[in-house]
Amino acid sequence: MNKLSIISIGLLFLISCSPQSEKLTLAETPKNPLAIVIHGGAGGVEKRFFTTEQELAYKNTLQEALDAGYVILEKGGTSLEAVQAAIIIMENSPLFNAGKGAVFNSEGKQEMDASIMDGSNLKAGAVAGVNHIKNPILAARMVMDSTSHVLLSGKGAEIIAKKFNLEMVESDYFFTPKRYNQLMKLQGKEEMKLDHNSSEHQKINYFIDDHKYGTVGAVALDRFGNIAAGTSTGGMTNKKYGRIGDTPIIGAGNYANNETCGVSCTGTGEYYIRTVAAHEISNLMKYKNFSAQKALKEVIFNQISKLGGEGGAIVLDKNGNVAWDFNSSGMFRGYKKSTGENVVEMYEMSKK
């Protein structure tokens, strides 16, 4: 054996013994761009409904979520970890309809749904109708990693979450007076409301107090070229007890596939389920060679709008291109990339 092969074998041994992030220092420059894109719900998000302080609060929390995810990518972490970190910030914030601050169902209870998907192997995990798990996105990850199932609901999901030492809370942890007031206004009307339902926005601050969307989602691309997507929600105010939306349905509200893209949706979930929206976007890219933006537009405007649904989605393709769009007046959203771009927006689409 010559000197060179001894050195190569030694190097290979070193690489295989190192944790993933240390491998990077040997492999160095990532061949893939790093990117994370997030949303905090679509709906009637219009400037006239927000005070400067409210706008700042939303933008700061979105930025915090982006930073939490991006720093993980930068340090060589995985897209799954980045997606989780960004979503946890938004679940813990009462501003969004996920985790603390989730909307109430018709029984005055909060039932949360979440899902996560790994685009490198199409593994996925989801929970539906939970209300004692502090961070439903972590429960979705636990279902993916530690069970042979994809979707667990209610008590069963909570029992397993507890077994895996996820942080459990009393259900009143999720309570916010604002969400309860939204329910009181809708009770008896047999209506379900998206979190920022634009048709209702007749007067200043009406929606921010009463009809705020706020489902949260994140899609990330790491230096291994792996895409992950996650989505978390309280669903829709005054939804029927037991109603499950698109968020925990893989392919409807959430999807990731390294071959194409990652997608996280927000809007009237029933329409996203019927159009299998997230998977449809991926398939348009895969089989019709559509760009992320074109596929997204097709699904939101030619499919969901036509059926009467409202909302939007974020997409991140395998090359790090970000796409977002919505048929509502706004959507809380942002992205951060290794190109140095950092964008946080909430109102109508900027004209390019």
Beta-bridge partner residues of 126? 115, 151
- Please state, in angstroms and rounded to a whole number, the distance separating the CA atoms of residues 230 and 264: 7
Distance in Å, CB of 334 to ligand ASP, minimum: 17
The single residue of 78, 215, 233, 260 carrying the catalytic annotation is: 215
Sign of CA dihedral 57, 62, 66, 69: positive
- 41 or 76, CB closer to ligand ASP? 41
Distance in Å, CB of 292 to ligand ASP, minimum: 20
Among candidate residues 265, 340, 330, the one with its CA nearest the CA of residue 303: 265
275 a catalytic residue: no
Distance in Å, CB of 134 to ligand ASP, minimum: 19
Contact 241, 265 (CB under 8 A): no
Residue 352's Cβ-side half-sphere holds a number of Cα atoms within 13 Å equal to 1
Per DSSP (E only), the strands in the chain are 35-43, 112-118, 123-130, 151-153, 216-221, 227-233, 254-256, 261-267, 311-317, 322-326, 330-337, 342-345
Q: CA torsion 148→150→152→156, rounded to 10°? A: 10
- 112 or 161, CB closer to ligand ASP? 112
- 79 or 232, CB closer to ligand ASP? 232
What stretch of H or E contains 54? helix 52-74
- 195 or 317, CB closer to ligand ASP? 195
**Collapsed DSSP state (helix, strand, coil) of residue 34:** coil
**Collapsed DSSP state (helix, strand, coil) of residue 40:** strand
- Please state, in angstroms and rounded to a whole number, the distance separating the CA atoms of residues 327 and 308: 10
Distance in Å, CB of 344 to ligand ASP, minimum: 19
Distance in Å, CB of 182 to ligand ASP, minimum: 12
- 72 or 127, CB closer to ligand ASP? 127
Which phi and psi angles does 298 have, rounded to 5°? -60, -45
Which phi and psi angles does 229 have, rounded to 5°? -135, 145
Q: List, in order, residues 6 or more apart from 189 with CB less than 8 Å away.
A: 238
- 77 or 253, CB closer to ligand ASP? 253
- 112 or 344, CB closer to ligand ASP? 112
Distance in Å, CB of 128 to ligand ASP, minimum: 10
Among candidate residues 181, 215, 208, the one with its CA nearest the CA of residue 93: 215
Contact 206, 200 (CB under 8 A): yes
Residues that bind ligand ASP (CB under 6 A): 41, 97, 194-195, 213, 215, 233, 235-236, 245-247, 253, 266-269, 311
Distance in Å, CB of 83 to ligand ASP, minimum: 17
Q: Which residues are catalytic?
A: 215
